[in-house]
Each structure stands twice: as C-alpha cells, then as structure tokens.
Chain A
Amino acid sequence: MTNKLIKYTVMFLVAVLVQVLFLNQVQFSGYINPYFYIVFVLLLPLSTPRYLLLLLGFLIGLTIDIFSDSLGIHAAATVLIAYIRPFVIRVISTREEDRNDFPGLLQNKFGWFFSYVTILVLAHHFVLFYLEYFTFSHFFYTLLKVIFSSVFTIFIIVLSQFLIFRK
C-alpha cells in the first residue's frame, strides 16, 4: 500500500515537472502543444476507486493550470477523461480476456494500449483546446491543433512506456 502510494506520488511529480519544465518550455511550432502529464491518469491501476480517479484527475489538472496560468482548463479536461476512462476500457476490451490491473504497455497488447491512449488523449485535447479558445470561429485551426498535438502526445506516451514507468 505504502509502496503504491510512493510510486504514484513520484509518478505525479514526474509527470507535472516534465510537463511544466520541459514540454511547456519547448515551444514547437504553433500547432504542436503536447500534454504528456495525463499519462498519470492513464496509468492508474484499473482497481482504483472511481471517486479517487476523479479526484486525482482534478488534482493533476489543477496543478498544471496553476503552473501555466490557465485556470480551470486542464482541470476540466482531465476530470472528463478520468470519468470516461472506465467506459473506454470496457468498450475496447474483449470479454473473455482477463484484464491486468495495470493499463501500461508492458502488461497489455500494443493494440489495446494504443487505442486506449488514443481515445483518451483525443478526448482530453479536444476539450482542452476548444475550452482554451472558446470560440468556433477558429474551428479548423483549433481542430488542426487538436490533431497534431494528440499525435505528438500519443507518441511521447508510448515512448515513455519504453523509457520510464516500466514497472
């Protein structure tokens, strides 16, 4: 239990720091703006109680908001993916399969992990960017941002599975 607590606390801190100190500072082109930190929400064990999942999602979203002065935007997007996560898992999993408690890449098939990450990252980025601009007048510009950034975020999350968060 304590072990788990330490592990996920470290993961929380690493995700936040990587996001605010590295990814937010490296300003790629205008379209690409990866949000890697949601890997924390994605990698929480499947047995996490749903209320805890929501609270943790809210906490990490709000932390990122405070760091980037975008109050509420990240919190709203992260709470949403924390809420839909169990439904997504139910939809993409076949019934017979015995689900591993950890949704990481090493514990699951690549195809499963990839669709899991893709759906949640797209949902998150969609809410995030449209909430940020809060206008449909830049509809296609925002949509391009959503797509390019999602591709990049997914890439980093999959890559991170090989480098860190192995266990």
Chain B
Amino acid sequence: MKSLFRYLLKNHVLALFLLLETFSLALVFNYNSFQKSQYLNSANQVTGTVYNTYHQITRYFGLIKVNKELARENAQLHTLLQKYSNRLAKPDILKDTASGSDALIRFIPAKVINNSVNSPFNYITLNKGSNDGIKPDQGIISPLGVVGVVAQVSPSYSMGLSVLNQRWSVSAKLSKTGFFGSLIWQGNDYRFAQLAEIPLHVTVEIGDTVVTSGYSTIFPEKILIGTVHDFTRPDGENFYDIEVKLAVDFKSLTHVEVIENLNKEEIDRLKEMLRDDK
C-alpha cells in the first residue's frame, strides 16, 4: 500500500492526467445521463445569463429580418382568419373556440439566445424556462417551420436539440400523399436533411412539401419542415432516399415558439398502457 502511494506521488502528473481524461471521456460517452444533470448544459443560470446579456446587445442588428419574418407570419395568420371566419360566418364562435379552455395547443413565445450549426450535434438555448411553462419534450417551431425539441429546463432558460442533431429525428410526412417517414439530419449541410422510410410505390416529386405527421405529442400535424429537394431510388432497397431542403434557416434563428400540447399527459398515458399490454 505504502509503495503504491509512493508510486502515485512520484507520478502524480500522469495519474492526474489519466484521472481527468477518464472523467472527460466518461462525460462524452454518457452524454444522455449527464445532460440530464441540471448544471452541465447551457440552460443553467450562469451560461443562460451570459448568453442573454449578449443577446440583449446584439439583437438590434437583426431587427430588419425579424420584422420581415413576423410580418409574413402575420399575413399568413390573417389569411387563415379570413378563411375560417368565412366558413363559420359568425366570428363569435371563432373567438370562443380560440380562447376557450378546450384549446389543445398553447404556444409560448421565446427567443433563441444561443445556437449552432457546425457540430454534428447542435443545440439551441432559449430565454424562457419552467417559470413560463416550458417542459422537456415540447416542440420548438419558428414562423418558418420546425426547429427542434426542448431537452433541459431551468427556471428561466431552456436548452433544446435542433433538427440539426443526429441524436434526434422528426416524424414527418409528405403532405400531398400522406405517407410518413422519419426525418434525420446527416450531419454535414445545415440546409438539408434526409427523409427515410418512404416506400417506392409512392409518387414523389421535387418540390413536394414535407410536414410533421402529428403522430407524436411533440408537434401538432401539418407544421412545415421543408420541401423535397432531390430523391433517388437506391438499388435493392424498398425505400426512397429523399433529400429535404429545410424551411428554417438555422443560421439566423431568432424568434421561436414552444408548443405545449395540453393533452400530452393523457396521450402519453394511453401509449404507456399500450406498451404495458405488449
């Protein structure tokens, strides 16, 4: 024992190096369990505050673009409103259902204070947290389309996986035909992702829109993801290789909305029951 200590003391640098390196690698390979720990991600108080302060200063530079985006969304919403008020003929009903307690989905506006596109696993940090009702596994969308999903929440900040993260995939469908598959990012170009599991008998055309399927509780149905940019039929396989051009420009994300599905618990409980039955 004594000689072991003497040996360690003599080689304390090497021992410390091995210790720290092992610890770092353990963090890398256990990313799932460690990212669940409260403090070692960008949603914690310190990093959140740093990013938020920085964002307060720099946000002025992007105002023109943000304005344009918001105006566009406004216009879209106006069109929708027009469409539905025509159909209902009574705007009162619309008002009732929109503000009523049986609304299934709630949107929480938030701002992106940190974001990356360069790594194979990209994350975003938002300036809202559990105080504003954000919980893990809620979807994040921007006026242009799907952005990601919340993973970690602190009282006033939250951290999420963006679509540009290979550890996550979105359930997506072709809006024209309704066939669904999963959308996975390939890790190189931030503008494109791959739509898998679309069988060969489906007709696919370049320019078809890809939207969320609504089969998970994260996103409601028919939220835009992107458009088909290119597709091939790989030899000897039953599925297409579809390249999707993402609708959201991940390099210039600012305003996003977090989706709260008010029926999520109920749906998840049903799913849990089904799983138990199996």
Binding site for B on A (CB under 8 A): 17, 20-21, 24-25, 27, 30, 33, 50-51, 54-55, 58, 61-62, 65-73, 75-76, 79-80, 83, 131-134, 138, 141
CA A71 to CA B51, docked complex, whole Å:
18
Contacts between the two chains (Cβ within 8 Å), count:
103
Query: At the interface with chain A, which of B42-50, B87-95, B198-206?
Result: B42-50
Beyond A66-B40, A66-B47, is A83–B17 a contact (Cβ under 8 Å)?
A: yes
Among B17, B29, B39, B42: residue with most chain A CB under 10 A: B17
- Which residues of chain A have C-beta atoms less than 8 A from B35's C-beta? 69, 71
A69-B41, A76-B25 are contacts. A54–B116 as well, Cβ < 8 Å? no
Contact check, A66 vs B42: say whether CB atoms are below 8 A apart: yes
A-B contact pairs, 8 of them (CB 8 A): A21-B51, A54-B13, A55-B20, A68-B42, A69-B41, A72-B27, A75-B20, A138-B187
Query: B interface vs A, CB < 8 Å?
Result: 12-13, 16-17, 20-21, 23-29, 31, 34-35, 39-42, 44, 47, 50-51, 54, 114, 116-121, 123, 125, 159, 187-190, 251
A70 and B17 within 8 A (CB): no
Choose among B21, B39, B41 the residue that contacts A79 (Cβ–Cβ < 8 A).
B21
- Look across to chain A and name the residue whose beta carbon is closest to the beta carbon of B43: A69
Q: Of all chain B residues, which has the CB nearest A77?
A: B24
B152 and chain A: residue at smallest CB distance: A69
Least CB distance, B43 to chain A, in whole angstroms: 9
Q: Which residues of B contact A66 (CB under 8 A)?
A: 39-42, 44, 47
- A72 touching B50 by the CB < 8 A rule? no
In the complex, the chain A residue whose C-beta lies closest to that of B54 is A21
Q: A73 near B28 (CB under 8 angstroms)? A: yes
* Whole-angstrom distance between the Cβ of A143 and the nearest chain B Cβ: 14
A58 engages B188 (CB within 8 Å): no
A50, closest chain B residue (CB): B13
Q: How far is the CA of A21 from the CA of B53 in the complex (A)?
A: 10
Q: Are the CB atoms of A72 and B12 closer together than 8 Å?
A: no
In the complex, the answer to whether A72 meets B24 with C-beta atoms within 8 Å is yes
Tell me the smallest distance from the CB of A119 to a CB of chain B, in Å: 18
Find B42's partner among A25, A58, A67, A80 (CB 8 Å cutoff).
Answer: A67
Q: Looking across the interface, which residue of chain A has its beta carbon closest to that of B44? A: A66
Give Cα A27–Cα B191 distance, bound, in whole angstroms.
13
Residues of B within 8 A of A134 (CB): 28
Q: Which of A24, A27, A69, A73 has the most CB of B within 10 A?
A: A69
B16 with A132: CB separation less than 8 A: no
Chain B residues lying within 8 Å of A58, measured Cβ to Cβ, are 20, 23-24
- Take A66-B41, A71-B31 as given contacts and tell me if A61 and B17 are in contact as well, using a CB distance cutoff of 8 Å: no
Nearest chain A CB to B20 CB, angstrom units: 5
* Residues from chain A with Cβ under 8 Å of B21 in the complex: 76, 79-80, 83
Given contacts A27-B116, A27-B117, A58-B20, contact A71 B42 (CB under 8 A): no
B117 contacts A54, C-beta separation under 8 Å:
no
Chain A residue, CB-CB nearest to B39: A66
Known contacts A54-B17, A54-B20, A58-B20; A68 and B188 CB within 8 A of each other: no
Q: Which residues of A contact B251 (CB under 8 A)?
A: 27
Would B116 and A61 count as touching, CB distance under 8 A? no
- A80 and chain B: residue at smallest CB distance: B21
Q: Are B25 and A71 in contact (CB under 8 A)?
A: no
Say how far B61's CB is from chain A's closest CB, in angstroms: 11
CB pair B28–A141 under 8 Å, yes or no, is: no
Verify A69–B42 contact, CB threshold 8 A. Answer: yes
A72 and B20 contact, CB distance less than 8 A: no
CB-based contact B20/A79 at 8 Å: yes
Instruction: Please give, as numbers and ranges, the residues of chain A lying within 8 Å of B117 by CB-CB distance.
Output: 27
Measured CB to CB, the closest approach of chain A to B140, in angstroms, equals 15
Q: A20-B50, A66-B47 are in contact. Are A71 and B17 (CB under 8 A)?
A: no
Closest 9 CB pairs of A and B: A72-B27, A72-B28, A76-B24, A75-B24, A69-B123, A50-B13, A83-B17, A72-B24, A79-B20
B34 to chain A, nearest CB (A): 6
